[in-house]
């Protein structure tokens, strides 16, 4: 996994970002990742692309909607950590610093979840 520029389109750096992660697993992604190149790469690595097709796609592609529904957990996590201002606005210049604060936010979220559900 790697951090990419926030102003680049997701599909531009997708293959570099997911390289080595999809061997025999699902790739859950949103419509921004719907491209034939990304799908071919995932399938070539033995993975399964669970990506809803864009509405303007000429050749419709079927995907597993039930597996795709689990992506909301990841989306909810990012919505939670973006409450931390420095994460939501990406103030940190260095990738190392930014990812450090993402890790801290993830720990805070995990501790809150564990504390609430332990009672």
53-70 confidence digits (pLDDT tens):
888 888 888 888 888 888
pLDDT attached to residue 105:
92
The answer to whether the predicted template modeling score (pTM) of the entire model surpasses 0.85 is: no
> Hey, which bits of the chain come out as E strands?
26-28, 48-50
Question: What's the pLDDT score for residue 47?
Answer: 86
In this structure, what token pair is assigned to residue 77? 């996590």
Which of these, 98, 43, 49, 45, lies nearest to 71 by C-alpha position?
49
Task: Extract the tokens encoding 111.
Answer: 């501790």
Residues 6+ apart with CB under 8 A from 5: 13
Q: Which two tokens stand for residue 45?
A: 């690595």
Q: Give residue 95's pLDDT.
A: 85
The sign of the torsion formed by the CA atoms of 97, 31, 10, 90 equals: negative
Q: Is 65 in a helix, a strand, or coil? A: helix
Res 34: pLDDT: 87
CA distance 43 to 47: 5
Say yes or no to pLDDT of 81 above 80.
yes
Average pLDDT over the chain, rounded to whole?
Answer: 81
> Over the Cα atoms of the chain, what is R_g?
16
CB 68 within 8 A of CB 26: no
pLDDT in tens, 15-44: 766 777 767 788 888 888 888 888 888 888
**Residue-wise pLDDT tens digits, 92-115:** 888 889 889 999 999 998 888 666
């Amino acid at each position: 996994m790697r951090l990419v520029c926030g102003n680049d389109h997701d599909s531009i750096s997708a293959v570099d970002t997911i390289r080595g992660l999809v061997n025999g697993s699902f790739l859950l992604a949103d419509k921004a990742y719907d491209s034939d190149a990304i799908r071919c790469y995932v399938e070539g690595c033995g993975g399964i692309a669970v990506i809803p097709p864009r509405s303007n796609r000429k050749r419709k592609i079927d995907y597993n909607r039930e597996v795709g529904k689990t992506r909301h957990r990841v989306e909810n996590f990012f919505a939670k950590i973006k409450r931390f201002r420095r994460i939501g606005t990406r103030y940190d210049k260095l990738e190392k610093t930014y990812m450090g604060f993402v890790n801290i936010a993830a720990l805070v979220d995990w501790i809150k979840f564990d504390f609430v559900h332990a009672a």
